Structure 1
Amino acid sequence: MTEPRRDVTGGRGPADSLEANELLEVRDLQVVYRRRRGLLGRGKDELRAVDGVTLSVREGEAVGLVGESGSGKSTVAQAVTRLVPVDSGSITLRGRPLSAASGKELRDLRRELQMVFQDPYSSLDPSMTIRSALREPLHVLGLKRSVDVERVLHTALDAVGLPTSSLDKFPHEFSGGQRQRIAIARALVPEPTMLILDEAVSALDVSTQAQVLSLLQDLRRERGLAYLFIGHDLAVVRRMSDRIAVMYLGRIVEEGPAERVVSHPAHPYTAALLAAVPDGRKDREHDRRKLIHRGANPDPWNRPVGCSFATRCPFAMDICFEQDPQTTGIRQGGTVDCHLQTSGATLAGEVLGDLVADHEHGGAEYAS
């Protein structure tokens, strides 16, 4: 069995990890996909889509989970919401096991934890009116008889800036941004304490995206909501998050306060994600291109020995191709899994700033 990878709980140990305001706790989460090998199918290959992930979200906190497509971040969301089975590890909400809950206990927990998906076009049933779509959570969670349904629906639509006249319309009568507002309203209907936002703005154009992000920030402030904000754009995740965890091939490779992770990344993969965000400055475009990670992801069904990012990293050393890196604390806050922090001549518990600067001005090859 794979060793637990890391603790993304602000440095707390197992004994004191569940604080009074701890909301969601994920420990050593493993989600494994299997396929048969060969023509006769006598063997099986394994893909560890989520490989020992540990993270937590406190009440009212926004935690960002960022990485490229295929990194496993959406699988984490699906595991937390029980849309995919979990192979090992634990998921608790307010200290109550989510993975083992059933019946009324599961309904109560799901009322607190709601999800908003990426695609506003497929997440709403085109044959249902908005009224029916918003009432559905109340029906599924057994709340229809205990609340004033019309008042709840009106309140949810008002919260996302849509008129009550929307209730008798169908999804095709709304724009993409309006549909995502409706999806958010549906998530708000049960009055949750936490939203999981899985690439919730990535399908929207830039101006609409900005409006929805502002809406989410307002809702968090007004309702005290906690967010697990999942995305691939580190600039967007930074705007929405107090803490950020960076995923690569099923593992969290760096985490810490959002400002530290973005301003002073400690892992080359984090630095590469940042370099891939255009800043509009022509004088930096050449250096930016040099820092974008090279090559494609390794085959996740045949994970390489050592650090999985080594084949794409310009700073890779021999040890990177031989051993998994250990989790190392960062003086500026958070942790990182990188041999540069333990075996490199430059870092050892520091951030990548000086090394990246040297690389930019030295002209080392690091092209996409």
Structure 2
Amino acid sequence: MDSSDNSRLASKKQNKSFVPDRFRKNLDHFKPESFIGLDHFMTLEKLKAAKRVLILGKRTKFELDLEEWGSLERIQKIYKIQNDSFTRIHESHLRQLSSRETLKRLFPNSAFIFRKDMERNPPSDFDLVIALGGDNHFTFVAHHAVDTLVLGCNSDPPTSVGALLSFHVEDIQKALETNWKNTIIEEWPLIEVKIHYPDGKKVSTLQGISEISIRNNSPDLTSRFLICHGDQMEEQKCSGLLVYTGAGSTGWVMSCENTDTTFDKQSPFFKVYCRELRKKEHTRYTLDHFTVVDRFSLISEMKGGISIDSLAETIYDFPPGAKAEFSLSKKKLHVVVRKL
């Protein structure tokens, strides 16, 4: 979810992150640079030597609306109703077209595609994949680029924060001019999810990059589940659960908690946050916001779903009696990041 999500806790709570004593010292002294090792330099050399480059673009709102509504006249009428937004949306459209053309010029031998063309051009076949768009587009692309290098480029900085996007097109031009001198490769952890259904079926979901939402299929109904971590187990009733990495710590959970919840994107753990706990039962919960360095599990007591990185394509059924196990993946996402 973007940080503009309107969810808020009914009452402000402290972050009672639970970390086993044997891990606390390591986490307290965690430094991002401690992750820079041989693999980092190997991937940086791979970046400098990259020949096969894929630019995976996002279609603009204007392009999508024109396709849906069929004519410029109809779009203008709709945008007029929507706070007279035609000028703002069209100017953003033009800036994004300019970003596309600039990247094509910077990488003249690259392939440029949209999402619909991914099957014919698998990102894993390329040395470098550039996700040109916003945060949600980046996570979509990154799911298909776990086995290569991925770079997030903000297609329209004036209208997009791009918390996961380290580059603007101008930054990429400077990086190429200096042979990627002020660039590093970060290794972001991934969350592995395995769902065991009551009928015996087992499903491994796409791995989570940013955040995973577990909630009732009906947003007006309470989310209910048993949550298990270490030797603790409790039933929770709330509006939903967020499981998030450092990459997701700037998004939905921050708007819920209304405090600084951020931590480094390379941190070797993830966190779990329970949204909008029932007030009268708040003091009974001990697993409302905690840190996971290994794994935890949920047992569903609802007709629910598990949504990976807020993408419509990655929602999995979570019916009563289903059990979901969440753990750190052995794989990591290799992200090209600009030094600030």
Which TM-score tier does this pair reach, normalised by the shorter chain?
A: under 0.3
The answer to which structure has the higher helix fraction is 1
Q: Which has the higher contact order (CA 8 A, sep 6+)?
A: 2
Q: Taking structure 1 as the reference length, what is the TM-score of the superposition?
A: 0.25
The answer to which structure has the higher strand fraction is 2
